[in-house]
Homo-oligomer: A and B are copies of this chain.
Amino acid sequence: MIRAGIIGATGYAGGELVRLLLGHKETEIVWYGSRSYVDKKYASVYQNMFQIVDAACLDDNMEELAKQADVIFTATPQGFCASMINEEILSQAKVIDLSADFRIKDVKIYEEWYKIEHKAPQYLDEAVYGLCELNREKVKKARLVANPGCYPTCSTLSIYPLVKEGLIDPATIIIDAKSGTSGAGRGAKVDNLYCEVNENIKAYGVAGHRHTPEIEEQLGYAAGEPLVLNFTPHLVPMNRGILITAYASLKKEVTYEEVKAVYDKYYEKEQFVRVLDKDVCPQTKWVEGSNYVDVNFKIDPRTKRIIMMGAMDNLVKGAAGQAVQNMNLLFGLNEATGLQQVPMFP
């Protein structure tokens, strides 16, 4: 049994990690870390766990946790993992960081976009960006995995093949993203109150959202050179789900079949990326509660652009599910262990 510890277990991503790990036959949770709820029964914070989880919350002492666990998930605010990580911890436990601390290789870009000093730049090189579909082999050998952001996961998987194969002009990429409200976290803020979000839609972080450089870095690897793009997230009145609609100019005339073949080349063998049938648009509800990313595209011959779409559950493939997928890779398990939930509809 893999002994798993979670720091930040009472946030939405942390709660989803608990849900998934409870259904994972090779894992037991040994540490429910939550600075805000120390000593409180975990099931009194998330009553869905009543009679399922008996443990009380512990603190966020990562060093102590490293002694008791084989893997540590940090579902914590930016900066926490970087400020705690050290050689001793890494020698005792694998670390999967769900924050952004180790996603961006260039510390200057990190500090510029996140407005905080990076406390452990010495681990940036070693950390593996845990987008399993792209970095599977590297993850298997890692000590420290940077679990990708929700928007970057959906955006990168939807666009990557066309950049990599040179079908689209990387300088023309525009990503218009829509997310459910769980992405905003469980902090008590007026902006996230029911009455403020319900019956409403808005863009936020326009031309400045922190996930932008993360997407640019990943697509830049595909392009073979740096790129800049537009990324605009929107807040949608629903609990879960991310949809991205991306636009780019085609480099040459292509047929549906040619583009489909490119997607299939990358995803045909992937368990969690589904390239939908022709003309079927991804819907977030079709992946809810599951680790799937549904992708598809539409060629617009009038404008010579292609519209790429992707849908996933932000808390699963966009956070906790991908973290478990990474854990499976780290420990040599079948990548889909504990992740075979059928999406729930309606």
Contacts and interface: CB of A to CB of B under 8 A. Distances in A.
A205 to B, nearest CB: 9
Contacts of A346: 12, 182, 195-196, 198-199, 239-240
B238 A199 contact: yes
**How many copies of the polypeptide does the oligomer hold?**
4
B201 A283 contact: yes
Interface in A289-346: 289-290, 294, 298-300, 302-303, 305, 307, 309, 311, 340-346
Nearest to A49: B342
A254 interface: no
Given A198-B198, A230-B303, A47 B286 contact: yes
A203 B238 contact: no
Given A207-B299, A302-B228, A342 B23 contact: yes
A101 interface: no
Contact of A202 (B12, B192, B282, B289): B282
A201 B241 contact: yes
A109 B102 CA distance: 52
Given A200-B238, A207-B302, A344-B48, A190 B188 contact: yes
Nearest to A279: B206
Given A47-B280, A207-B307, A303-B230, A238 B198 contact: yes
B207 A300 contact: yes
Contacts of A247: 174, 176, 230, 247
Contacts of A229: 303
A193 B191 CA distance: 9
B243 A234 contact: yes
Interface string A143-163: 000000000000000000000
B274 A50 contact: yes
A99 interface: no
A236 B236 contact: yes
